[in-house]
Amino acid sequence: MAKAAQHDFDSSSLFTERNGRDALIEAYQELAETASYLSPKEQQELQRCAEYGAWAHEGQNRQSGEPYFTHPIQVCRILAVQRFDMPILQGALLHDVLEDTAVTTPEMAEAFGDEVTALVDGVSKLERLKDQGAKEVQAESFKKMFVATTNDPRVIIIKLADRLHNMQTLGALRPDKRIRKAKETLNIYASIAGRLGLFYFRIQLEDLAFSHLYPWRYAVLKKNYLERYSRNDVVDQVRSDLKPLLKKIGIKASISKRQRHLWGLYQRMLRKNNSFKQACQTIPIRVITDSEDSCYRVLGQLHSVYRPVTKKFEDFIAAPKSNGYRSLHISVLMANNDMLNVQIRSKDMHALAETGIIAIWHQHMKNRSIVEESHNVQAEQYMRDWLFRLKDVQNITHDPMEFYDAITKELSQSDIYAYSPKGKIYDLPRGATPVDFAYAVHTKLGDECIAAEVNGKPWPLFKPLKPAQTVKIIRQEGSKPQAGWLRFVATAKARAAIRYHIRHLAEQEAYALGERLLDIALRRLGSSIEQLPDSTLEAYAQSQQTDRETLLSDIGHDRRQPVLIASALMGEQLNTDNQQQILKVESALDSAIHFDDCCYPLPHEPILGHFKPGLGIKIHRRDCVQAQNSDLNDWVRVAWAEETKGLFAAGLSILLEDRPRMLAAITAVMGDLGSNIIDFHIEMADHDKNKRLIKCFIEVRDRDHLAVIIKQLRLLNGITTIKRL
């Protein structure tokens, strides 16, 4: 009776004079019952918050026709099921007020304080300006939410609950909007929930997205699953076999069927090309007991009753997952040959598995005993490390679209983990390379990375890491990231840091290129940059409402024509009889000069240059098809400097016999001759099953360096032909 009285509020004065009052009261009654764990004072404050939200959203309706504020109430109820504290419940009730009503941030702060207002502001989308597209606004709002999350992870909790309720009520939207929302949910929000161990949200979001993206597949799979697992005879038999043994040794445990995750089941069918029956050949059971020690004792009793299946045991208690997940996983055979897939965990482990470290963290702010256990400390550190990596990304890039693209690409990958030489664990997306690892440790280490060792042996920078490897990064002070790294890096931080360096370098070199191009144009008129008084160039720049640096950078980016500027500076007409000056190409790292991938020019080869607006000059070989089929009057005369710096890309097509160690022999030749492989593909030859075709891109100093490599490769027994791509 006492518990019922706690949430038995007087509805006579609640939401008075509000449209749709009955629907609001019904929704709030469910919330009050769920939030009965709050103190009477907190319940009064929650009701005041609801009154405020209903007033702010007055007159707004959902697509279904319900009063809009029923949505924030249901979002709050989702969080109340997880027994969150007052600030996050208040934030959920008010999460759309700043975005969708006339209430301002100062007004909310005055009514509910800075903590709640910061949570609401973190979840709120940015207002769309007239000249902004929908994708730009989405990207900016996404970045804003992540920045707020790094300061207070509760922001993402509210956003996930918001998205969960929206997915539960998605049927009111048009089909195209449903598909778009479902894809976004699956690719971003469910991935975020999984990355932070919030499986309560992840599983529901994935299954709801599945139901909208593939409704027929979902319906058939669900029907078959319910038919197959509606019977309780298996779990009853397990209880009958195991409970007496556990009672004899004084262990209390609950034994229940474990609900399968339909999206996970569907992915398993696709991944292994299995039928439904094959994918569901094991019967999922969960045993929850009171302590870690009891988990292992339950495991012993389970083995005494049923036969363990070889290689089907995983101990995530002794070796927890990086997001804090702990449990024993074991497959066993019953007497009738039914295979059980059993999870054994304690109540605390189950709470962490269902709601994640963030939920545990905030449920126990007043009692830190659970969080202070070593495995939870590690999980909390993982959460903070991942969030701070995202903060590093937003510090590096100021482009919201670039941030959005980088984060979503990282979220689309599953996790692996790697060790530093000192034993520290770094979580990375699958496909991550030593370069990603270096940037995960520190931005400067990534920038200065030149080589790597994995498990004590040399490892190519482009080659993906495998789980549980120890990675040592070899650095060289003053080294800079290479643009080619963007072809293989997997993490958002690495991608953003490399792009930042390229942009910074491009601006510096666009200025230098502009100065060189203007000097060439001036020499055609009998002058030069050195001979031109600084005051003349500065006066001209001012007349163009710019400055010297910007003017020269614009020339380098092909936003201004050097010939016209030189003519204006000299006050003369262009003399077309003068010999055109030649632009010298000095470096592979000159960001304002690009080596076109149609012909991959190398030092010592005849070349031509062509302007590309906003990019600078594209360099082609003189025998390139593009150069031969174009009007050469539109091209720039360029030549290699006497000494060139850096390594240049060259492509090779290698036809070889399919025999052991051929690939190792080829890479050994390239490595011994100082070449770095930057891309590599191998496929079966079209005309011969016993031969393979390798297409690879390597870095070389010049044409002579490439010729030496090709010559040595031709000496290998088994190489049929080598062609330059």
Radius of gyration from C-alpha coordinates of the chain? 32
Four-residue CA torsion sign, 395, 397, 401, 404: negative
Q: What H or E segment, with its residue span, contains residue 53?
A: helix 40-56
Count other Cβ atoms within 10 Å, centred on residue 528: 13
- 399, two tokens: 């482009």
Task: Give the separation between CA 594 and CA 612, rounded to whole angstroms.
Answer: 9
DSSP class of residue 650 equals E
Task: Give the separation between CA 166 and CA 176, rounded to whole angstroms.
Answer: 15
Task: Give the separation between CA 347 and CA 290, rounded to whole angstroms.
Answer: 6
Count other Cβ atoms within 10 Å, centred on residue 9: 17
Contact 465, 428 (CB under 8 A): yes
Task: Give the separation between CA 194 and CA 205, rounded to whole angstroms.
Answer: 10
- 37, two tokens: 């764990």
DSSP string, 536-597: HHHHHHHHTTS-HHHHHHHHHTTSS-HHHHHHHHHT----TTSPPP-EEEEETT-TTEEE-T
DSSP class of residue 11 equals G
Active site residue 26: no
Task: Give the separation between CA 551 and CA 544, rounded to whole angstroms.
Answer: 9
Contact 278, 218 (CB under 8 A): no
Amino acid at the residue 217: R
Contact 287, 246 (CB under 8 A): no
The distance from CA 490 to its chain's CA centroid, rounded to whole angstroms, is 8
Question: CB burial class (10 A; 0-12, 13-18, 19+) of residue 366?
Answer: exposed
Contacts of 338 (CB under 8 A, 6+ apart): 234, 283
Contact 111, 49 (CB under 8 A): no
Enumerate the H helices of 230-305 as residue ranges: 233-248, 262-272, 276-279, 292-305
3-class secondary structure, 321: coil
Contact 383, 357 (CB under 8 A): yes
Q: Which of 33, 58, 85, 100 is catalytic?
A: 100
Active site residue 547: no
Task: Give the separation between CA 397 and CA 500, rounded to whole angstroms.
Answer: 7
3-class secondary structure, 646: coil
List residues with catalytic annotation: 99-100
